[in-house]
Structure 1
Amino acid sequence: MTATPVTPSPVTVDVDDAGLAVVTIDHPPLNLYDEALHEALRAAVAELEGARPRGALVRAEGKVVSGGVDVKQVFHPMAQAGDAAAGTAYFAELVDLGRRIHHLPFPTVFAAHGLTLTWAFEVALACDLIVATPRASFGLIEATVGLTPAMGGTQRLAERAGAGRARLLVMTAGRFGADELERWGVVDRLIPEDGFDAAARELAAQLAAGPTRAHAATKEILRHLAEGGLEAAHEVTPQAAGALFATADLQGAMASFVEQGHGKATFTGE
């Protein structure tokens, strides 16, 4: 009797001994978003929420990060049926998924080595930092099929680059190079193609080795700024920062500073 081959998951999560989770998208040939990838990404985010690593790097295998969505499988059936209710429900899932990535209580880095379209760009925008090679390019091209981005990408792009540039990128459905988006403040760092994967891992590992609870407080403050403005951020800052005095990381780092000077502390994430 022949065993049925096991299909590998399109998204995997590997957590190393230092607490860095490496999330790898591998759904050849183009890492298109279909039902299998949707379910795998949801499972990966749930795993991150449960495992609570100290940092995460999101990366992709293949020539491109993603060519976009498998329109024939995902959107065309709803369009044929004129099913607005199904579209609304599906996009509610996507928005929730983007929000959960954005709210992860540890640093997240997205590494883009090539073409990064639609859902993959939206996931990148939900992460804390986006690093890219100079040859990477990005696009929210949903307008070409009569849609608009629906994982939170438009608003997160506006948060990074301003509403005008978000309109330009989304409404033209164009592809924009990493160098241009770095000038806009969308891409946080350009890294040479040679050694890119290792350099992205090194950055993510550096963040994961830092004061995890302090990084979570930074994210909380910035989230309140984005969602409620400056005064909302002011309101949450005393509690978010003050609570850090009860953490082992702060206590150890303060002692290290007093005894050995700046930059000698190590952190455990507690």
Structure 2
Amino acid sequence: MNWIWFHKLGSPKWFFQWANKWSKFAFVIGLLMLAVGIVWGLAFAPADYQQGNSFRIIYIHVPSAILAQSCYLGLGVAGLVSLVWRMKMAPVFIKAVAPLGAVMALIALVSGAIWGKPTWGAWWVWDARLTSVLILFLLYMGVIAIQNSLDDMQLADKAVAVISVVGLINLPIIKYSVEWWNTLHQPATFTITAKPAMPMEMWLPLLLSTVGMYGFIAAVAMWRMQTEVLVREHRSNWVKKEILDNGI
């Protein structure tokens, strides 16, 4: 198996130049799909036969919840790579993506509360799904706090890598909480292994919103990683050349 791509991905210089090529494309496509999906879902998709129009917040809640988990999965993988292979880009990824994942988790919690009030009659209940997502948000905040409070960058990188890996145990709890315990939260709206229970005019804008959110977050993550690379590699000759050539 050819692992050249893996080693290239760990090179700050290679990643910086690669991100320059793809970040704008991901941003434009992601933002377009996200806008179409949300507008379609909020304004044109049919109302749910049980929940009425209150269900429309699903087009914000579900993509943010999925991205919150995906971002943390990325943190866990990057943490493992950082601890095992010591690749420079792994801690860069963690520092760039942790705030984005925290924002996604917060949006998921707030939008879930707004949805829960008319559905359950309460803004918050200590439901297994809600509690595990709250723990996810706190894990993100812990990673961010450690990165910004420790002056020793190497120590901070190692600490957040360990937290990122250990925190992965929370992801299956989030996913299977509605099956393992009696919860108010409904099961997954759709999965890649099963036919959607909703009609196409309801699940298609949700799919567009989710894919668009992935593209949007990927673009912002690449920009944040580029900034972090410049900070960490500012003494490198290639960074100085990049600054001179592009006026960064």
Same fold per superposition (TM over 0.5): no
RCO greater where, 1 or 2, for CA within 8 Å and sep 6 or more? 2
Greater fraction of residues in strand: 1
Q: TM-score, length-normalised on structure 1?
A: 0.28
